[in-house]
Amino acid sequence: MSFYDIPRRSALLAMALTLAVPTLGAAQGDPKMGGTLKISHSTRIATLNVLSLSGPAEYPVIDMAYSGLTRIGPDSQPMPDLAESWEGSADATEFTFHLREGVTFHDGTPATASDVVATYEAILNPDVPASAASVLNMIDSVEAVDDLTVKFSLKTPFADFPTSTAHANARIMSEEALAGDHAMLETVVNGTGPFKMESYDSARITRLVRNDDYFIEGKPYLDAVEMHLFPDLAAETTNFLSGDIDVMLLVQQADYERISSAPGVNALRVPSGRYVNVVMRFDQEPFNDLRVREALAYAIDRQLLVDLVLEGLGRPAHDNILSPEFRFRIDTPEKNYDPERAKALLAEAGYPDGLKLDLVASNRPAIRAQVAIAIKQMALPAGFDINVETMPHDTYLANVWRKGGFYMAYWGMQPTEDATFNLLLTSNASYEDTGWANAEFDALVQAGRSTTIESERADAYTKAQELMLAELPYIIAFYEDVLTASRENVQGYTLNPINRYFYLENVWLDE
Amino acid sequence: MPKAFRAAAGMTGLGLLLLVMGAAIFGPFVAPYDPQTFHPAARLQGPSATHWLGTDQFGRDLLSRLLNGAPSTVFFGLGATLLGVGAGSIIGVIAGTAGGWIDSVIMRILDGLLAVPELLFTLLIVTFLGGGMGQAMLAVAIAFTPGMARIARSSVLSIRTREYVLAAVARGERSHYIVLREVLPNAVGPIIVEATIRVAFAIMIGATLGFLGLGAQPPSTEWGLMVAEARQFMFRNAWTVAVPGVAIAMAAMGFNLFGDALRDSLDPRRSR
Amino acid sequence: MTLGYLVRRLLAVILVLFVVTFAVFAITMILPGNAAVMILGEYGTDEAVAALESRLGLNRPWYIQYLDWIGGILQGDLGQSLRLSLPVADVVGDAFWNSASLAVTALVSVTVIAIPLGVLAAIKRGTVADLVIGMFSYIGASMPEFVTATLLLIFLAGPALGLFPAGGFVSLGESVGGFSSHVVLPAATLGLILTAHISRQVRSEMSEVLSSDYIRAARLKGLRERRVIRRHALPNSLAPAVAVISLDIGYLLGGIIVVEEIFAWPGLGRLLIYALENRDLPVIQAITLVLATVYALSNLLSDIVIAILDPRVRYA
Amino acid sequence: MAGANTHGDGVDTPVLEVAGYSLRYATPSGPIHALKNIDLRVAHGQTHGLVGESGSGKSSLAWAILRYLPENAIENDGRLLLSGESLRDRTLSQILEIRGRRISMVFQDPSTSLNPAMRLGEQLSEVLIRHRGLTSQEALEESEAALARTGIAKPKDMLRRYPHEASGGEKQRVVIATAFACNPELIVFDEPTTALDTITAQQILELFNQLQDETSISALYISHDLGLVSRVADVVSVISSGEIVESGTCAEVFQTPRDDYTKALLGAVPNPKQWLGVTEPPPEAPALMSAKGVTVEYGRQSLVGQLLAPKPTHLGAQDVSIEVRKGELVGLVGESGSGKSTMGKVLSGLQDFDGSVRFGDRNFARLSEIDRTYRRAVQIVFQHPDASLNPRQRVREILSRPLKLYDIVPPKERAERIANLLEQVRLPREFADRLPHQLSGGEKQRVAIARAFAAEPELVICDEITASLDVSVQASVAELLMNLQRQTGTACLFITHDLNLVRQLAHRICVMQHGRLMDTFHRDDAERPDRNPYTRALLKAVPPPASQAA
């Protein structure tokens, strides 16, 4: 496909990823133009504000309507988007992006460097709620060198910067829109993406139509894309199977087998680094004792958990926050289910008669409670008497998250090692929730981000992972696959494991 | 209804009620398996000799879960009704016996509350109480209170004008004697009948809240929650949905039939 | 039954509604979390939450927010949805018409089915027909909507038969056929419990009427049974039936919440669940107001219909 | 045999002949024999009175004749002949042709036998449309004429009304007009005046006699009231427990009753000339209780109540003054709604009032001033025996309440006192263990009376205590009351609508109408020509029963 051929000018990020992204329904013949693609989803598209949206069904919409400077490609590498090419300084503190010529927003105004600057200034503005802010907080300044050139200066060296600019919430908006009332961003879409917003009904259907002026010649192929909302999963599945819907955005594990074996359907399973983790606070009894954390780790049958909760659609994890998709991920020693060893560890830690614990799980999404219940059952023989307390999400967010001593969290895959560590584990991480605060770990992560020398980065990240596995801030039992499905006539549909990039400009309908 | 049918319906109701109450009281003790134990090798199976009603997605025995969930489901209905009927009766009796402006004020407030549909009212309360079994029970009880207060009041009012009550008043009996000995014992009939039928309704609302994720929370075996959890798997094993669903319907039907039979026996003229 | 009485009743309801909305407002403020927390979820940093709170106006004292809201209502402005970033009037308005189309379909079909069933059962007292209708009504009245809906989904919309779409919505304006096929299952779910209830009530009213002195008198006048039923018995049993139907609208408005959620019907019920989950207070308030007003109006309407059917009430 | 006469065989064929007819109802607790071997004939142009108490089977006979029997009815092979034709052989559709056209019926209570949702005109004319094939226009015109014959002033206007817009008398006239509409061979009257006021009942009775004279229709007139039957019927049959115990012309039956039951029945009919009461206290005896200018306004509300749910008010009693002397029995007479029961409630401390009530040497100006001393001294007995006893209390508990409350006898002696009380009201002492539903109506009323006298009151208010009882029971309850009064010297205010009864018992009589006291007179002055016109109208409406009149 055409964008693979675009020359990469990034010297820093010539990475090769082990993961081969599966693409279903190998394209038969030349793409055909036209047609409307119907996508079903089960969560609402509550807002279209690029800066703050976070809903699973909101990402495909902005992925269609907006472009970022860069974008994460199907190979999980940053690929050109609005920026045709980029280069970084050797010390990784300065990055220059070169924009495509002649790109216009959907309303016809040209997209230039000043729009990029306005967008990044909005993201970095502390008064504006912006999801990408925590990933881009190393930016010191951004300036428009000329109409088509943008230069970023960073406070600290950061090798993965072009990956950060690909953040799904860092799409380029027009300077004019950002200068106006930000409330308008909630409903009014003016991007540079392959599709234009036609109608937005948050309760039912959101419809986008082809952007004839899209900057990649000949794309998109489709005339329109419709996002249909089905809050009930059973209803969504049934409608998809009956052929009313072309793409089912997210397939539940429980339905995957049934859907994949249905005639006329291509089910797509993308291995991903998404995980449910057990949070244990280092500053609270009894988890301040490593032996307790380890005991729990050995009290979990990870393969069984994958089979029961994920219907086998995932991979057992052994507490490494990095999944095999990550380049610098080390071979992680397997922790086999060993209740006896767990029991011994508990006894060593001073709990020979077992331990009574309350494990909190938010009721959304249901997988948190499911994993918690499974852990409760598996840990019983090891002497853990776990009482699962399921609570409404709002109560959880207000009272438990980042405060509670023992609860279930759920995170999607991040694009880089650095983003992953800085999201949760470093002492100044955005969502630091364990109280681990390990200076050595912080230094290793810092070392990894600031050097551009491959071997040094590998060394730093390896040590960081070893330290993490030894200290065991989280129990991570599995990586969950991303599941989606399409009708047979849908060609070129694929997903990124991060599940925020959808490449719908490549999709066409083979009638 | 013809006598024979009425009798049969009453017996069916009584039978269902005994079954459901039996499950609620003894269920957890007679359950063949632990309701939370996983049987990974036997997931989502239909009825078999080892699992009489089949298993769910974790291979948990459905019969055991059903039996274990009976107390929370049935006692939810009973508890919510009892609370609602208790509070409602107190308010209704106060309004009915006090009369005058107290009655007027109470009745206006009740009229207003009755203007909010019951399930909506319950949902609002339970959301703001924060979800969970106890909160849901309280919410249903609060939602029941206005209706019960109205029934209690009208029952008290109709008894209050009976001649034996007037005779007691004329005789100079103290008001607590009149309320407790003359009015209440005779006013409880309609209240009890209404309460019985409301238990059915409370069970249904409780299950609905569980289903919507606002009532019982996992790993509870409350029946409404069982349906909600099983919905994902309903096409793979319809038993997981049907078993708790039918159980809820049976419990509700038992109370409905029994309540109607009770009403008939207390007031043979009315056939509704 | 005077106009003044109707107006007073309506005023009383409105008064109480405001008490309810006030209570809702006050309680939400006591609880942890708010719409901003829910919108940002786990990705919300403290700063982001604070920024969003200030943009949504959630950092103001609750009574100011409430007074603001009341002020808006009095000017016909329901405010802005916190989660959906749309005017509440638009969101709730669209949902209202969608719900109405479902509710009216259900109610009309139920009335058309349930009243004749109830009459039939009353006339054929003690026969097999009565028995079957009686059993049906007990089963119907004991099935929560979510159970009925799930069973209907499995058997009628599932891969086995696939007679109807499993969910979704096509408005009447778009396609009558599309609307009809989508409305069948949700309306049938709502209809089961209502049919059970209404037919039972009609049967009981009708039985009572049929055993009344004036029906005996009519029969002893030598009138044909058809006239006795149609002219003498029916009008007298319909008035109580209408009262029951209006009470059932309360059930209907509750049932619609569950049914819409299951069948993806973009109405008030589904919106309510969404708003409740996201602590979207203006939307919750507006829906409470709308549903309760509809209920109050339907009760009022039924009183008027009863007055038309029953001359005693009309002039009382 | 009369039944051998064929149809149209001249005047000898009775319009109705019932011969050897028996009827029973199958119930789960065994059959109930409603009618036993009934023989009854109604000759052409004759009015046949059928007299019996409640449960005697008189209504069952009416339903049998009209072929309107419940499913559990089992008949023997007795005959039911209408003008010689067997009604029992008719199919349902043939019966439907006969009902309303050849046999019609007038019911007890016009307010329940008329359809509330239909205009009176339609209810009358539908018979004409059905049986005489008239168009609705013709039927309406005919209805108007029929209604005019019943003495309705503006028949056209009446036809347009709904039942609730007409008075009881007017409604009953519509029912009668409907019954006469098709000139039937036989009309069955089922207690057509029982639910009406005395004066209205009298008017309906006159109407019946007038129409009977005009049309010489044959009628079966069912009633519990011997006096009433004597005024309309040519021939009377007395029915008791499903059997006709006596039959004959009015004169025969009333003058020379042969059957014991008939005799008892006749004896029980109150006769104003037959004094049963106690010795009258001397005229100069002081007043025990005197009410002065008592006014009662119903529906009066507090300020809040008026704001929240204003209701109209109406006067229950207006400026009423009544006096009762020690040992005296004062009758308080009036139609329903006249305010007599309101006065009963005021005097027994159940209803707030304006004005003053003086008792002994104490004065009470409103309800809240009425205290336990007063309540002990003034006791009340109510109308409905079914409602006046708490269904969940045993007779012992019911009777012990006043004993405990006023500490009449020491606790040890209570059981004995209860037994005495029961004996005083002529009930076996074992009845102390019974619940009210195990007693008959008359027995319940005796318990209620015993409860009133248990408090050893100075004044007993009897509010229609005989109205819900059968005639024969009425008499014994009245007699019992007199005995008790004789023994205890208690004064009594006897509230009733039955002038004949009260004239047997009361020393003085007060008459109320529309909440006002119309007249107060000594019993000896009842028939003086200068009596109040309303009193005269009342007296005229209840002439003494036939045995005395004839």
User: CB–CB of A84/A100 below 8 Å?
Assistant: yes
Among candidates A304, A376, A392 on the partner chain, residue whose Cβ is nearest the Cβ of B131? A392
Contact state of D390 with B182 under an 8 Å Cβ cutoff: yes
C155 to chain D, any CB pair closer than 8 A? The answer is no
Q: Within a 13 Å sphere around the CA of C80, how many CA atoms are in the beta-carbon half?
A: 16
* Confidence check: pLDDT of D79 > 70: yes
| Among D28, D350, D371, beta carbon nearest to B170 | D350
- 3-state SS record for C78-98: CCECCCCCCEHHHHHHHHHHH
Cα distance between residue C291 and residue C294, in whole Å = 5
Mean pLDDT computed over D193-200: 84
Query: Which chain B residues are Cβ-neighbours of A390 within 8 angstroms?
Result: 217-219
Got the DSSP string for D77-114? Answer: S-EEEETTEESTT--HHHHHHHBTTTEEEE-S-HHHHS
Average per-residue pLDDT in chain B? 85
Q: Which residues contact C194 (CB under 8 A, 6 or more apart)?
A: C106, C107, C110, C114, C248, C251, C252, C255
What is chain A's mean pLDDT, rounded?
A: 88
- C-beta atoms of D382 and B166 within 8 A: yes
What amino acid occupies position A372? Answer: A
Query: By the 8 A CB rule, do A357 and A387 touch?
Result: yes
At residue C8, does pLDDT exceed 60?
yes
Q: Are B245 and C147 a contacting pair, CB within 8 Å?
A: yes
Cα separation, D364 vs D341, whole angstroms: 19
Rounded Cα distance between D290 and D139, Å, is 58
Predicted-complex ipTM score: 0.79
Arithmetic mean of pLDDT, D433-437 = 90
Element (H, E) at A483: strand A478-487
Percent of chain A with pLDDT over 90: 66
Name the amino acid, one letter, at B139.
A
Q: How far is CA D418 from CA C314, D14, D411, in A?
A: 53, 58, 11
Listed range (A293-297, C61-65, D416-420) with the worst mean pLDDT:
C61-65
| Strand A149-154 versus strand A94-99 pairing type | antiparallel
Question: From CA B138, how far away is CA B144, in angstroms rounded?
Answer: 10
SS3 state of residue D299: coil
DSSP D12: G
- Whether residue B250 is predicted with pLDDT greater than 60 in this model: the reply is yes
Cβ-Cβ contacts under 8 Å for A367 (sequence gap 6 or more): A276, A309, A410, A480
- Cα-flanking dihedrals φ and ψ of residue A358, to 5°? -105, 120
Residue A100's SS3 state is coil
Residues of chain C with Cβ-Cβ distance to D95 below 8 Å are 222
Helix axes C268-277, B118-129, angle to 10 degrees: 10
Residues 6+ apart with CB under 8 A from D148: D155
Is the backbone peptide bond immediately before A286 cis, with ω within 30 degrees of 0?
yes
DSSP D41: E
When pLDDT is cut at 50, 70 and 90, the band that residue D310 belongs to is low
Please tell me the predicted confidence (pLDDT) of residue A2: 31
Distance, CA of B159 to CA of B181 (rounded, Å): 12
Query: Given an 8 Å threshold on Cβ–Cβ distance, is B120 in contact with C253?
Result: yes
pLDDT of residue A21: 42
d(CA D402, CA C222) in angstroms, rounded, equals 56
CA D136 to chain centre: 38
Tokens 């927010």: give the residue.
Answer: C65
For chain C, helix (H) and strand (E) counts, in that order, are: 14, 0
Assess contact for A359 and A376: CB atoms under 8 A. yes
- CA D344 to CA D357: how far, in whole Å? 12
Which residue do the tokens 């393969």 mark?
A303
Choose the closest CB to D100 out of C215, C216, C220: C220
Measured CA to CA, the distance from residue A401 to residue A407 in angstroms comes to: 8
- Of the CA atoms within 13 Å of residue D206, those in its CB half-sphere come to 12
Mean pLDDT of chain D, nearest integer: 87
Q: What is the pLDDT of residue A302?
A: 95
Q: Residue range B81-98: average pLDDT?
A: 90
User: 3-class DSSP state for residue A449?
Assistant: helix
Mark yes or no for CB contact D309/B170 under 8 Å: no
Q: pLDDT below 50 — which residues of chain A? A: 1-27
Q: How far is A390 from chain B (nearest CA, A)?
A: 6
Residue type, B230: A
Rounded Cα–Cα distance for residues B225 and B241 (Å): 10
Nearest to C51 among A129, A230, A393 (CB): A129
Confidence of residue B197 (pLDDT cuts 50, 70, 90): confident
pLDDT tens for D440-490 read 888 999 999 999 999 999 999 999 898 888 887 888 889 899 999 999 999
Q: Is the peptide bond before B47 cis (omega within 30 degrees of 0)?
A: no
- What local confidence, expressed as pLDDT, does residue D71 receive? 84
Q: Are C179 and C101 in contact (CB under 8 A)?
A: yes
CB C151 within 8 A of CB C259: no
- How much is the pLDDT for C202? 86
Q: Is A292 within 8 Å of A345 (Cβ atoms)?
A: yes
Average pLDDT value for residue range D206-235: 88
Q: Does D201 have pLDDT greater than 60?
A: yes
In sequence order, what are the beta bridge partners of A206? Answer: A200, A227
- Shortest distance, CA D524 to any CA of chain B (angstroms): 33
Please give the Cα distance from C271 to A167 (Å, whole number). Answer: 31
Q: What is the pLDDT of residues C274-293, one digit of tens each?
A: 888 888 888 888 888 888 88
Contact at CB, B128 and C31, closer than 8 angstroms: yes
Convert the pLDDT of each residue in A76-91 to its tens digit. Answer: 889 999 999 999 998 8
Sheet of A139-146, strand order? A83-88, A94-99, A149-154, A139-146
Instruction: Establish if B40 touches chain D: CB-CB under 8 angstroms.
Output: no
The backbone torsions φ and ψ at residue D476, rounded to the nearest 5 degrees and listed phi first, read -70, -35
Residue D274 has a pLDDT of 82
D504 to chain B, any CB pair closer than 8 A? The answer is: no
In degrees, to the nearest 5, what angle opens at C-alpha D300 toward C-alphas D299 and D304? Answer: 110
Q: Which chains touch B (3 or more CB pairs under 8 A)?
A: A, C, D
Shortest Cα distance, chain A CAs vs residue B37, angstroms:
7
| Alpha carbon C137 to its chain's center | 19
pLDDT (0 to 100) of residue C124: 87
Nearest to A389 by CA among A415, A359, A364, A363: A359
Residues 271-310 (C) with a CB less than 8 A from some CB of D:
309-310
pLDDT in tens, B28-65: 999 899 998 888 888 888 899 889 899 988 899 999 99
Q: Which pLDDT score is estimated for C1?
A: 52
D235 pLDDT band, cuts 50/70/90, is: very high
pLDDT at C81: 84
Q: Provide the shortest C-alpha distance from residue A314 to chain B (in Å).
A: 17
- B32: its two tokens: 């063949």
Contact present, A207 and A198 (Cβ < 8 Å): yes
Q: What is the DSSP code string of A17-63?
A: -SPPPP-SS---SSPPP--EEEEEESS------TTT---TTHHHHHH
